[in-house]
């Protein structure tokens, strides 16, 4: 079996080596998909001395299987649905709408808590490195990419420690560059490829964003 990452921090340090050409670049920012992506992204941003922020996405889980994504929503009201899963499980439009309203409410709550009054980074004409702790179906990342495009970045780079072959291949068509450190077969799940895959708390996200703010590499809104 392929060697696993120790934890998300370790994954971020390894991923940063693949992103070295972007170190200290004045027009590059790192965005994390919370909560799982923040510790990976923090390691990348810290190593490359780049500004760090979050980009909010919430998974839409199928009935009785919340971890199986039928789609996702992102900041700005963007919604991405997995039509194959919706058709296979015959999920109603009413259920989708109810789930979207519920998750959008939680998205707004989390974002307000994480930012603690700080504005988001300006992304227009920037190179954006978009990071999560892994890609299974890729639904959350696709929602993030679609919403991010509305802010007119110069380039979007998706970087993840581990991904399924299919998700990595599909996302290559949607961004300027994609870096998947590991694409193991069989894939099974993101958590399988970490020795420590313990849950990241809301407090962890808030604290890491505060710490990134304090190291002073770029300020939100600039």
Q: Which pLDDT tens digits describe the chain residue by residue (222 residues)?
A: 578 999 999 999 999 999 999 999 999 999 999 999 999 999 999 999 999 999 998 889 899 887 788 888 888 777 888 888 899 999 999 999 999 999 999 999 999 999 998 898 999 999 999 999 999 888 889 889 988 998 899 999 999 999 999 999 999 999 999 999 999 999 989 999 999 999 999 999 999 999 998 875 444 444
Fill in the DSSP letter of residue 194. B
Determine contact, residues 102/8, Cβ cutoff 8 Å.
Answer: no
CA dist., res. 105 & res. 109, Å (int): 6
Q: What is the CATH number of domain 8-56+118-214?
A: 3.40.50.2020
All residues at 6 or more sequence positions from 38 whose CB lies less than 8 Å from its CB, including other chains: 32, 54, 200, 204, 205, 208, 209
To which H or E segment does residue 98 belong?
helix 93-115
All residues at 6 or more sequence positions from 32 whose CB lies less than 8 Å from its CB, including other chains: 38, 40, 41, 42, 52, 53, 54, 55, 131, 132
Instruction: For residue 127, list its beta bridge partners.
Output: 28, 155
Determine contact, residues 208/38, Cβ cutoff 8 Å.
Answer: yes
How far separated are the first and last CA of the chain, in Å rounded? 45
All residues at 6 or more sequence positions from 116 whose CB lies less than 8 Å from its CB, including other chains: 206, 209, 210
Global pTM reads: 0.86
Q: Is 181 helix (H, G, I), strand (E, B) or coil?
A: strand
């Amino acid at each position: 079996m392929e060697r696993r990452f120790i934890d998300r921090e370790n994954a971020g340090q390894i991923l940063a080596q693949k992103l070295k050409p972007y170190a200290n670049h004045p027009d590059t920012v790192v965005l994390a998909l919370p909560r799982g992506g923040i510790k990976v992204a923090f390691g990348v941003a810290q190593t490359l001395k780049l500004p760090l922020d979050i980009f909010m996405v919430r998974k839409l889980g199928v009935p009785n299987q919340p971890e199986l994504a039928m789609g996702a929503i992102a900041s700005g009201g963007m919604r991405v649905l997995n039509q194959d899963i919706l058709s296979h499980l015959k999920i109603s439009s009413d259920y989708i709408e109810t789930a979207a309203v519920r998750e959008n409410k939680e998205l707004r709550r989390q974002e307000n808590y994480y930012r603690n009054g700080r504005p988001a980074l300006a992304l227009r004409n920037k190179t954006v490195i978009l990071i999560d702790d892994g890609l299974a179906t890729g639904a959350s990342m696709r929602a993030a990419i679609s919403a991010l495009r509305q802010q007119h970045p110069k380039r979007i780079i998706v970087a993840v420690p581990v991904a399924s072959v299919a998700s990595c291949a599909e996302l290559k068509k949607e961004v300027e560059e994609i870096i998947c450190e590991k694409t193991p077969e069989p894939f099974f799940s993101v958590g399988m490829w970490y020795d420590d895959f313990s849950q990241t708390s809301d407090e962890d996200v808030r604290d890491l964003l505060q710490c990134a703010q304090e190291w002073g590499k770029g300020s939100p809104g600039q």
